[in-house]
Chains A and B, each alone.
Chain A
């Protein structure tokens, strides 16, 4: 007997709640792409859990018809770790922002990545605190004028990808809210990866930090200001595919491909399985000196946290047999008091 599996549609993942993001917010696009890829991933809504912290992005779970927890500021990775350790059968997504995951939740973020819990964490990076109305965030750029920095930000910003490399994340990617095809394929890649998948999404906050990523969003400029990483392919960018990245000693340099003096083979080739050195180097490429890489920086497989933890439990039961309370209580030195 065969059962016909129902085909999931985006609507199956749409909750009945009104969306309360500002009109024009980049979050809408991310939500739309997520709802588009969820049916393609094929995990049914009841086996999917979205967990978020606090911030504009963290309202996300209310808008998808799955299980979900809107937790507290910065702690979604910890909540998700507890869930995944007890319910490895579930597909778990952590939705967070730059303030949520890199400021108040920085500690949980790095520990989630280094443990390699099998879940996906999508960080909406808008370089600003939106929900609290416009203070600077840990990814705000130096000199940025915000409500709490009238003379400009003096903090040196965190580079989320570099941090993820430092924490030895096994899957690291970056995409852009308005680049919907790229975003959808990146989310799918993240879901497919076993282990913690970290996706940074450049997300426009059109109210408090409008245009922060316009260079990467505008079709007119994005081919020159970003470079799409593709595994096994040479690193070429530019509207006319006329520039490339080449390694010079331990530095990356831009070379012109137009005159034919530099061959494709001389360029840097992307390798998602490479050691963290290459990934780190790529994470440091920043405007205006370099195009900023988008796509999958790293995708390697190591044992997941829950496999290791639950593996020890399984091994212990195999070796010692299922624990018996009465035996435990009566173990060691006991004595009898007569009736």
Chain B
């Protein structure tokens, strides 16, 4: 283990700031995601509130040095509460010209720009399709440019280990990391533990080289004159007391499934087919076989969905996950699950569409698909997570609904929150409440055959499972007679069953809390948002409120059914704004349901909202509203 002080003190001026947004970008093989994750964890351990945004190409290794291959990781860490990874960058680290030119626009004027100057040679410029070196452009005067010969310095730093040039070059991201750590006074302990854990204890040359590069980067910051100031971001004091850890959305989803299983006395049967950006849930869950988790990588999306149906019929907690294209494939089987009235979870981690679309980019464009994308009258409950940590909560809520109502429940996440992370207050497991499940052991019809579709007050049917004597029954996709479950083509029965299935979904509202509003309970403008845009919308609304504008936020986590008080809330505001990363899917639902002339703010760029653009729209609408109100009054 390292004996050197892991984070030597800083001798230069230290300036305290309340928050920093930094983006690290380079080739997809440069280890930028690793660098970003380490900076995030280290900042979280320093007690900062954090929000992250990894952004990487769909190609595993796009040609080196090209714009297509640029991978980035953005993190905002602050001593105040943060809900977004930040709009604009205080600092940008660019490992090559392609990374520089594709990210520079987000760096604030006067911002710190650190580049690896060794990778700005003619061949690098050519790969980035640049005729002139951007470092020589006059525009560079707008930034505090620090050119660092990272490749050379890393090579020198690790020379003692006798590695090849190529091998030595792999430690370069740790050099960059050391420099960034110095810049923000970050403690290197956690990263040193990571290095030695991942690359081998003690004698591993790779581990030693990476540590050396990290320390060399730190020392470089301490030495060069170009960097006169180091910044300090104090621990956030706004967080609720307790023990925290950093959690990524997909990880929170997987852990939430484990918690839901424990609460209901079940084990997780998880079936899926690999798809970006949902696969990490599979990767996470397959580690937990000792929790009794059974993961099944099916031959296709349809088989994943269908095997979940089989597992649910058998009495297990069945889950399948996918993204938009896979959900499209599961559609018919989701209709079957609805018809069989079996509890299971379908998780859709949305990405840019249509078709293959933008696999690694975020979007909210599957709402209509999960609401209506099935043949026949086929409503299902739809819940949407609002942040990485919320994935943990929402999936448990979904399982509660599924089991109490006996139907499949859809959970929406998206690429932004699936890969993003935030601090998570670790719950006390002993305080988790049970999710009650009853499998009948006796017939509900003593005078005749068991009635698999005899319902309780919530319209849920009994979850009788194979192996139970006397309760043998057949379920299927054909319309069935209420009560007996026998095939029925009777016209009145069909209408009745369609209405029952719709009412069952509507009954979910009885099991869910009412909608909350952040801000004034009535007034000029209500911002209605859902899903992963929560952080940006909340921040924008708070900023508008600070400006004295009459603006409130209602962030909807339960999209079908809508919370019972939503219509009443909407009626208390003059205007409604619905920002979405789609063409207005929630807006269409809200307009048709509540007959309100809601306005949309729609962005379909594969990127999350910036607070700035939302604030602009909110300000415009709130001010216009005020002017109209004043005119009408005078």
Contact = CB atoms under 8 A, between A and B. Distances in A.
Given A71-B476, A82-B307, A335 B244 contact: yes
B307 A79 contact: yes
B284 to A, nearest CB: 11
Given A75-B333, A81-B303, A330-B243, A61 B467 contact: no
B318 A82 contact: yes
Nearest to B304: A78
Contact of B290 (A15, A46, A321): A321
A67 B464 CA distance: 10
Given A15-B474, A61-B476, A75-B302, A333 B469 contact: no
B467 A47 contact: yes
A67 B294 contact: no
Nearest to A79: B310
Contacts of B289: 312-313, 315-317
Nearest to B299: A111
A197 B289 CA distance: 28
A316 B467 contact: no
Interface in B222-251: 235-237, 239-246
Contacts of A54: 477
A325 B310 contact: no
B271 to A, nearest CB: 6
Interface string B28-46: 0000000000000100111
B255 A329 contact: yes
A235 interface: no
Contacts of A261: none
Given A83-B313, A333-B45, A313 B292 contact: yes
Given A326-B429, A337-B47, A338-B241, A82 B336 contact: no
A237 B468 CA distance: 47
Contacts, number: 212
B259 A325 contact: yes
Interface string B277-294: 000000000001111111
Contacts of A188: none
Interface string A75-90: 1011111111111011
A184 B487 CA distance: 29
A333 B44 contact: yes
Interface string B461-476: 0000111111111111
5 contacts: A15-B474, A61-B476, A81-B298, A87-B315, A337-B240
B101 interface: no
B315 A46 contact: no
A29 B624 CA distance: 78
B310 A51 contact: yes
Nearest to B470: A46
Given A78-B303, A83-B314, A333-B44, A71 B429 contact: no
B307 A81 contact: yes
A310 interface: yes
Given A50-B474, A85-B310, A336-B244, 11 more contacts: A46-B472, A61-B474, A62-B487, A69-B309, A79-B307, A85-B269, A86-B294, A309-B296, A329-B427, A337-B243, A339-B241
Nearest to B468: A46
Nearest to A70: B476
B81 interface: no
A325 B271 CA distance: 21
A263 to B, nearest CB: 48
B190 interface: yes
Contact of A337 (B244, B293, B477): B244
A313 B289 CA distance: 5
Contacts of B476: 61-62, 68-71
Nearest to A15: B474
User: DSSP class of B's interface residues: helix, strand, loop or mixed?
Assistant: mixed
Contacts of A333: 41, 44-45, 190, 245-246
A166 to B, nearest CB: 15
B258 interface: yes
A337 B242 contact: yes
Interface residues of A, number: 63
Interface in A93-138: 107-108, 111
B305 to A, nearest CB: 8
Contacts of B406: none
B44 A335 contact: yes
Contact of B300 (A83, A107, A309): A107
A325 to B, nearest CB: 5
Nearest to A88: B314
B316 interface: yes
Contact of A85 (B41, B294, B309): B294
Given A67-B472, A86-B294, A332 B245 contact: yes
A302 interface: no
Contacts of A335: 44-47, 243-245
Contact of A320 (B46, B290, B336): B290
B140 interface: no
B169 interface: no
A102 B387 CA distance: 44
B156 interface: no
Interface string A12-37: 00011100000000000000000000
B314 A86 contact: yes
A287 interface: no
B41 A67 contact: no
Interface string A235-273: 000000000000000000000000000000000000000
Given A70-B474, A82-B308, A83-B313, A47 B466 contact: yes
Interface in A29-67: 44-47, 49-51, 54, 61-62, 65-67
Contacts of B472: 45-46, 65-67
A217 to B, nearest CB: 30
A323 B292 contact: yes
Interface in A288-324: 309-310, 312-313, 315-317, 319-323
A195 B307 CA distance: 18
Counting chain B CB atoms within 10 Å of each CB, the highest count among A67, A70, A320 belongs to A67
B449 interface: yes
Given A46-B469, A69-B474, A330-B426, A337 B241 contact: yes
Given A87-B315, A329-B426, A82 B309 contact: yes
Nearest to B424: A329
Nearest to A17: B486
A146 B81 CA distance: 70
Contacts of A334: 243-245, 426
A173 B114 CA distance: 70
Contacts of B474: 15, 50, 61-62, 67-70
